[in-house]
């Protein structure tokens, strides 16, 4: 009788253990499936332009040429002026952009101007799996006139990875400074430092033989307005 009771108890314990393992396995699978589904999520506002259409119509170079002309003409006047950048024009300019880094391909970019923010979106291809990456940038000019391209949010699909992405970006920036000889005064370097490491910089650049300063930047729906003034 004692042996039978012991045997029953052992079977009961094994059964409970098996049930617990099964439950945890189901939970793990459900969580993994949910995460993967969130990663594959495609935001409704992500609508990259048809690259074939922009290539055929030649609209990419046209808008860039127009913008360069507006900037050049404004600088030559030697007075404060505003440069208006249209969302549609930016998307036409970047429609055929693509890049690859460490086996990860990036393509089909889309740019959105929303009040106070610039939203950059694109498709990342990782070993055949495609994910939509989203970066929200809030450009700010402080009381000292320094520009900071604050990265407010980074997402893969529907998952917010901002804290992790900022930690990785800071480490990348520090390693970049140690391993590569860079001119920290170069405008491109300063922009990269601001995006990767929250570094503010003086927004002054040359157009031919003249310098201009970005005094104010305002982002509204579908439009970015930059106020530029002569800089000595």
**Residue 150 pLDDT > 50, yes or no?**
yes
Evaluate if pTM is beyond 0.85: no
**Mean local confidence (pLDDT), 29-43:** 77
pLDDT band at 59 (very low <50, low <70, confident <90, very high): very low
**Mean local confidence (pLDDT), 171-200:** 83
Full DSSP string of 113-157: EETTEEEEEEEEEETTEEEEEEEEEEEEE-TTS-EEEEEEEEEET
Q: What is the pLDDT of residues 86-95, one digit of tens each?
A: 999 999 999 8
pLDDT band at 216 (very low <50, low <70, confident <90, very high): very high
pLDDT value at residue 14 = 64
**Residue 178 pLDDT > 60, yes or no?**
yes
pLDDT value at residue 34 = 72
Nearest 10 degrees: CA dihedral of 196, 199, 201, 206? -20
Write phi, then psi, for 130 (nearest 5 degrees).
Answer: -110, 130
Write phi, then psi, for 67 (nearest 5 degrees).
Answer: -65, -40
pLDDT band at 9 (very low <50, low <70, confident <90, very high): low
């Amino acid at each position: 009788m004692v042996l039978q009771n012991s045997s029953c108890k052992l079977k009961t314990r094994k059964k409970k253990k098996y049930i617990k393992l099964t439950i945890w396995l189901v939970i793990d699978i459900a969580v993994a499936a949910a995460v993967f589904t969130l990663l594959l999520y495609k935001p409704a506002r992500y609508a990259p332009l048809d690259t074939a259409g922009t290539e055929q119509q030649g609209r990419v170079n046209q808008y860039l040429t127009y913008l360069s002309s507006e900037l050049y003409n404004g600088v030559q006047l030697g007075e404060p002026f505003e440069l208006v950048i249209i969302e549609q024009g930016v998307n036409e300019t970047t429609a055929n952009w693509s890049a690859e880094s460490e086996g990860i391909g990036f393509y089909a970019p889309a740019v959105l101007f929303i009040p106070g923010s610039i939203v950059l979106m694109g498709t990342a291809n990782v070993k055949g799996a495609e994910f939509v990456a989203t970066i929200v940038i809030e450009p700010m000019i402080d009381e000292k006139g320094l520009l900071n391209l604050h990265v407010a949010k980074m997402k893969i699909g529907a998952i917010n990875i901002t804290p992790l992405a900022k930690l990785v970006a800071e480490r990348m920036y520090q390693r970049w400074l140690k391993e590569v000889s860079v001119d920290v005064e170069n405008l491109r370097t300063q922009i990269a430092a601001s995006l990767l490491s929250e570094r503010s910089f003086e927004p002054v650049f040359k157009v031919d033989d003249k310098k201009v300063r970005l005094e104010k930047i305002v982002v509204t729906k579908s439009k970015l307005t930059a106020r530029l003034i002569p800089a000595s």
